[in-house]
Amino acid sequence: MAAPTLDTVLTGLAQDEATGSLRVGKEGTVFYVRGRVAYVECAATPGVEELLGASGRISANGVRRARQETGAGGDGGALLVDRGVLSRGELEFSVLSATLDAAFFLLTSRTARTRFKEGDAHWLGIHWFFDVQGLLRECARRRARLERAWPSAELDARPVTPLRRIPGTHALLTRLQWELLLAADSTATPVELARRLGRPAYSTLLAVRELAAAGLVVTDETAALPKRTPKPLPPQPREPERSAPGLPQVNGDAADVNLLLRLRDALEAL
Amino acid sequence: MIGIEDCLSEAMSIPGALGAILVDHTSGMAVAGKGIPDPGRAAAGLSEAYRATLDGIAMASQETGFRIEDVIVTTGTAYHLVRPMEMMFDGPLLLCVCLDVERSNLALARRRLRTITDELVAS
């Protein structure tokens, strides 16, 4: 019998109203509370701890201490709120945001090796719930959103390289896009930049794809352009005719005119 | 200090409120909603409307680095209020409220919305 897919395992635990943690390979963990998902961690995406650290609200050490103080089954999130590190609304949104970000990367994992640990809970406690189907639906919606922004995954795993010169004269950037362009060093991938900036990995992927759509980062097409440019033609024997003074110079090529005539004939024949 | 669910209940208690929804602007996701028939659709639309407003105002405005306090759209029957909240690391999170134009007071609604969002993100 083939190993069950990750979707099947996730749905099964939801039906069993399980409480505990599901390790998915080495990539991450899904935390269940009575069949609903309370938190997801993924090695590739920043968790609430990293997001908090990067925002400057609390040091990595502060997070470690809070974690130690929170005993088994404790509510580390409530502890952080009590200390004024963040508000309840911010905590809920951080958990929600980090969970969806992790789920987006973890739930596409091909690994079938999963291990469920009954009763295990995340140290932050329970601050938001997702039902498994809703989580999977949201992941699919986010994938579609990426495709709409720029319909190719070529940039997702490749170093972000801003163009030295932009095609137009103006560019309109969001805050994240600005930070990304400043941090991009032509070696870091979007997910690595997300970690460095303390931003959700999905937002970063989306921002990079939007930058590609705006023609501001190197994509396959722009990288290939120099190669595709034909070799310069040997100098033409005839000088281009000078146009009348005051009018722009025209360098008409007989081939272009022939093509236009053929095009016109074809259109008329329709 | 209030959480996400309380924030929506508070928004629905604004006189004339017909629906309220929290939208994650970056992903266009509906975080939670009350009185909104199709939250997914509403979130996508509101998120796009906010993006278009931002881009449009950015091009029209002389200010650099401006921020939007709120967006108000008046239709024949309703006011649509969108208030962005900057979150720690992502966002903004949009609190959007739809109000009956006959039964609501715009100035009051704006003030209430501001109080609610301040309570949600204030620590």
For residue B36, what is the DSSP state?
A: -
Residues 6+ apart with CB under 8 A from B27: A100, A142, A145, A202, A203, A206
Q: How many CB atoms lie within 10 A of CB A7?
A: 12
* CA angle centred on B51, ends B45 and B56, rounded to 5°: 125
* Chain A contact probe: residue of B61, B87, B90, B115 with most A CBs at under 10 A: B90
Reported in sequence order, the residue ranges of A43-175 that DSSP labels E, i.e. its strands, are 114-118
pLDDT for position A109: 79
Per residue in A199-234, is it b (16+ CB within 10 Å) or e — as a string? bbbbbbbbbbbbbbebebbbbeeeeeeeeeeeeeee
Predicted confidence (pLDDT) per residue in A136-153, tens digit: 999 999 999 999 999 988
Predicted confidence (pLDDT) per residue in B96-117, tens digit: 999 999 999 999 999 999 999 9
What is the spatial distance between Cα A137 and Cα B29, in angstroms, rounded to a whole number? 11
Which residues constitute the domain of residue B89?
4-121
pLDDT for position A253: 58
So what's the ipTM on this one?
A: 0.88
Predicted confidence (pLDDT) per residue in B28-51, tens digit: 999 999 999 999 999 999 999 999
Higher pLDDT, A267 or B16: B16
Predicted confidence (pLDDT) per residue in A51-62, tens digit: 888 888 888 888
Q: What is the CATH classification number for the domain harbouring B64?
A: 3.30.450.30
pLDDT for position A111: 73
pLDDT for position A243: 47
Residues 6+ apart with CB under 8 A from B82: B46, B49, B50, B70, B71, B72, B73, B94, B95, B96
The whole-model pTM stands at 0.81
Q: Measured between beta carbons, which residues in chain B are less than 8 angstroms from residue A89?
A: 1-4, 7, 119-121
Domain limits, chain A: 6-147, 150-220
What is the spatial distance between Cα A240 and Cα A236, in angstroms, rounded to a whole number? 9
- Burial of residue B103, with CB atoms counted within 10 A of its CB: 0-12 exposed, 13-18 middle, 19 or more buried: exposed
Give yes or no for B57 touching A (CB within 8 A): no
Predicted confidence (pLDDT) per residue in A240-252, tens digit: 444 455 555 555 5
> Which residues 12-41 of B are in CB contact (within 8 Å) with A?
24, 26-29, 31, 40
* Separation in Å, CA of A69 to nearest CA in chain B: 21
> Do A32 and A24 touch, CB atoms closer than 8 A?
no
Q: How many CB atoms lie within 10 A of CB A74?
A: 16
Q: In chain B, how many domains are there? A: 1
Give 10-residue mean pLDDT values along chain A (270 residues).
80 95 94 96 92 86 89 87 90 93 89 88 92 93 93 90 87 89 94 92 95 90 57 55 52 62 75
What amino acid is encoded at A234 in this protein? P
